Amino acid sequence: MANPHDDDDDDMAAVHDLNEARDPLNGDRWDNAQEGAELLSEGDNAGAVAELERVILADGENEYAFFFLGSAHFEGARFDKAMKAYLEAARIKPGYLGALAGVGHSLRMVGKHHEALRVAKQILLKSKDDQDGLHIAGLAHFALGQGHAAIGYLERFLATKPEIEAAQEARGLLDVVRGQFEQDPELS
């Protein structure tokens, strides 16, 4: 899923980390969200939600807590709640690509493929090779039956060297679009 930072590449990540280190409020917000993020990574979804909601009650402007709350809801297949949390993170920190990617994936999961595609295009305007933006665009075009467009985005997505599971999914969809396999009706 989406990266919690809004970095475009390794050089930007270094600049971003330096800027965060200089901003004590941002660093505190990041630190305050970490317990919830750790609970989420350990598979304690309910614990993560409770912890992140506690952080948000204490600091309603913590974009990282909203991001990880969105991730917890996404993992729990509560996509409408995930989308609301991701949108709040993006409101607090405009240009937060990880939050925008969360919105795009949430929209896709509830079948709002045109809206997901619009979000993907916003991401790609900010970072033309953003892995999540390319993935969302490819999946949305595929779901909309726009095979030619899906191919372009999915091939660019694969060029970013995604995680194995996402790469396998993209290759499978490319095979379907290219007519090498029949599409599973449950995927559309």
The torsion angles phi and psi of 184, rounded to 5 degrees, stand at -75, 120
Cβ pair 80, 107 in contact under 8 A: no
Q: What is the pLDDT of residues 46-59, one digit of tens each?
A: 999 999 999 999 99
Residue 18: pLDDT band (50, 70, 90) is very low
Residue-range domains of the chain with CATH:
1-110 (1.25.40.10), 112-181 (1.25.40)
Looking at residue 6, its pLDDT comes to 45
Cβ pair 144, 113 in contact under 8 A: yes
Looking at residue 12, its pLDDT comes to 32
Residue 27: pLDDT band (50, 70, 90) is confident
Q: What is the pLDDT of residues 136-185, one digit of tens each?
A: 999 999 999 999 999 999 999 999 999 999 999 999 999 999 988 655 56
CB under 8 Å to 116, separation ≥6 — which residues? 104, 105, 107, 108, 136, 139, 140
Residue 186: pLDDT band (50, 70, 90) is low
Instruction: Give helix then strand counts, H and E, for the chain.
Output: 10, 0
Which residue would you say has higher pLDDT here, 27 or 40? 40
Check whether 124 has a pLDDT greater than 80.
yes
Q: What is the pLDDT of residues 74-114, one digit of tens each?
A: 999 999 999 999 999 999 999 999 999 999 999 999 999 99
Q: Whole-number mean pLDDT of the chain?
A: 87
Looking at residue 149, its pLDDT comes to 96
